[in-house]
Amino acid sequence: MATANQYTESLPHEDSQQLDPEVLRRLYTYMLKCRMVEERIRVLYRQGRFAGNYFAAVGQEATEVGATIDLLPEDTVGPSHRNFVTNIMKGTPLTLLLAHIYGRETSPDQGRSAPAHCGYAPLNVITPSSTIAAQQNIGVGIALAYKMQRKPNVVVALTGEGATSLGFWHEAVNFAAVHKLPIIFVIENNGYAESVPLSLQTAVENLSSKAAGYGIPGVTVDGNDVVAVYTAMREAIDRARSGRGATLVECKTYRWYGHSEIDPAKYRDPVEVEYWKARDPIPAMERYLAARNLWSDQWKQELAAEINREIDEAVAFAENSPKPKPDEALDHVYSFSIRERELKRKVWPPRPEGSPSWR
C-alpha cells in the first residue's frame, strides 16, 4: 500500500504563491475533464457499449494533469495503459479518443488496438503497449533523437510503480542518465501493481531514491496535490530543455478502482480506499481556489456542462462511425497489405511433390 502519512495538508502545495491564477484554474479544469471522461467511459463499458476492457486512473488526476499540462505540441509523452487521459492533455480531439474506445475506423489506429492503448502521432503521443515499461525505451529513443537534432524538446514517460522492478525500466533510465537525455520519468505510485502491493515489490520507502543509482535527480511528491506535481515537473522539464538531462519524479497517489473494469479490487482494505478518497485531488483544489477567490459553484457548473456536451458529441461520433473491415486488419501494420500478401501467395512457386511441408 502506498502511504501518505507525510502529506497532511488538506489543500494543495503552498509554494504556489507565484503561479498565475489562470494556470491554477487550468489545472483544475483539466482534472475535472479527465475525471468526467473516465467516469463516462466506465459507464459506457458497463452498458456494453464497447468491447474489450478499460484501465481507469480515477483518483490520479493530479499526477496526470500536473505532469503533462506544460508540454508543447512538439514534445512527446509516453503513456502507460492507465494514462489514456494524457491524450486529452496533449490535445487529441475527444471525438477520436472515443472512436478509439469503440474500436472504430475513425480512431487514430482505425480500430486496431485495445481500448486503453491509445496514441496519437500528430501530437507525439506514443501508443502504449501491454508490455509494461516498453514506452520508456521508445521515449528514450525519441529523447536521443531530440538531442542529436539539437531540438529543445522533452519526453515525459509515465509508468506505475510496478514497472520499476522490470529490466525495461532500468535499461531506459540508465541509458538516459548516461547520455543526459531530455526525458522525465514519472512514476505514478498508486500502491499496487495490478493486485500486488508495493511492500512485496521493493524494500525502499521512496522509489525516487532509485535515481541515485543512475546519477540523476530524484524527487517524491504528493501525487494528489496537483500544484506540487506541477511545480516539480516544471523544474524537471526546465532541466531537460536546458540540456542537463533526465529526472525521476515519483508521485504517490491512488487509483480508486481495480486494475481494470473486470477487477473489483476486493483485495484492498475498504478503510484504505476511503482514506484515499477523502484525499480526492479535485475538491482539494476547489478549496484551494476558493481561498484565493478563484472559485465559484457557477463556474464549476458551467465547466461541467461544457465537458458533458463535448463528451456527448464524442460518444455520438464514435457510435455513428463505421467499424473497421476485417480484410483490412493488417493494412498499415506490415510493409505490405493483405491484398498484396494474397497476390504473393498466388504466384509463389508450388511445393515440389513429396517434399516436407513448409512451416
For residues 87 and 97, give the distance between their C-alpha atoms in angstroms, rounded to a whole number.
8
Q: Would you give the end-to-end CA distance of the chain in angstroms?
A: 49
Inside any domain, residue 231? yes
* Cβ atoms < 10 Å from Cβ of 197: 14
Inside any domain, residue 208? yes
pLDDT band, very low/low/confident/very high, at 222 (cuts 50, 70, 90): very high
**CATH number of the domain encompassing residue 166:** 3.40.50.970
Model confidence pLDDT, tens digit, residues 297-307: 999 999 999 99
For residues 86 and 137, give the distance between their C-alpha atoms in angstroms, rounded to a whole number.
18
- Using only C-alpha atoms, the chain has a radius of gyration, in whole angstroms, of 22
**Strand pairing of 183-189 and 247-252?**
parallel
**Strand pairing of 218-222 and 192-193?**
unpaired
Indicate whether 257 pLDDT > 50.
yes
What DSSP line would sit under 59-102, residue for residue? T-HHHHHHHHTT--TTSEEE--TT-TTHHHHHT--HHHHHHHHT
Which residues does 79 contact at the CB level (< 8 Å), separation at least 6? 86, 87, 119, 125, 126, 128, 135, 158
Inside any domain, residue 358? no
Residue 219 near residue 247, CB atoms below 8 Å: yes
For residues 137 and 160, give the distance between their C-alpha atoms in angstroms, rounded to a whole number.
15
Per-residue confidence (pLDDT) for residue 115, from 0 to 100: 87
pLDDT band, very low/low/confident/very high, at 131 (cuts 50, 70, 90): confident
Per-residue confidence (pLDDT) for residue 309, from 0 to 100: 98
pLDDT mean over 218-242: 97
Instruction: Classify 343 as helix, strand or coil.
Output: helix
Indicate whether 53 pLDDT > 60.
yes
For residues 338 and 331, give the distance between their C-alpha atoms in angstroms, rounded to a whole number.
6
For residues 319 and 98, give the distance between their C-alpha atoms in angstroms, rounded to a whole number.
9
Indicate whether 209 pLDDT > 50.
yes
pLDDT band, very low/low/confident/very high, at 267 (cuts 50, 70, 90): confident
- Residues comprising the chain, all counted: 359
Which one-letter DSSP state was computed for residue 326? Answer: G
Residue 133, sorted as left (phi over 0), alpha (psi -120 to 50) or beta, turns out to be left
Residue 51 near residue 58, CB atoms below 8 Å: no
pLDDT band, very low/low/confident/very high, at 66 (cuts 50, 70, 90): very high
- Residue 120 β-bridge partners: 125
Residue that the C-alpha cell 501508443 belongs to: 127
Inside any domain, residue 345? no
Residue 246 near residue 180, CB atoms below 8 Å: yes
Q: Which amino acid is at 196?
A: V
pLDDT mean over 325-348: 63
For residues 167 and 140, give the distance between their C-alpha atoms in angstroms, rounded to a whole number.
14
% of residues, the chain, pLDDT over 90? 78
Inside any domain, residue 347? no
* Cβ atoms < 10 Å from Cβ of 164: 23
pLDDT mean over 16-38: 92
Per-residue confidence (pLDDT) for residue 244, from 0 to 100: 97
Query: By residue range, what is the domain housing residue 82?
Result: 14-329
Inside any domain, residue 3? no
pLDDT mean over 35-64: 96
pLDDT mean over 270-281: 95
Inside any domain, residue 256? yes
Indicate whether 83 pLDDT > 90.
yes
Model confidence pLDDT, tens digit, residues 307-332: 999 999 999 999 999 999 887 777 77
- Residue 108 β-bridge partners: none
Pick the more confident residue, 13 or 1. 13
Q: How many structural domains does the chain have? A: 1
Opening angle at CA 53, ends 275 and 248, nearest 5: 55
Q: Which amino acid is at 50?
A: F
Per-residue confidence (pLDDT) for residue 6, from 0 to 100: 38
Residue 291 near residue 73, CB atoms below 8 Å: no
Pick the more confident residue, 65 or 113. 65
Inside any domain, residue 336? no
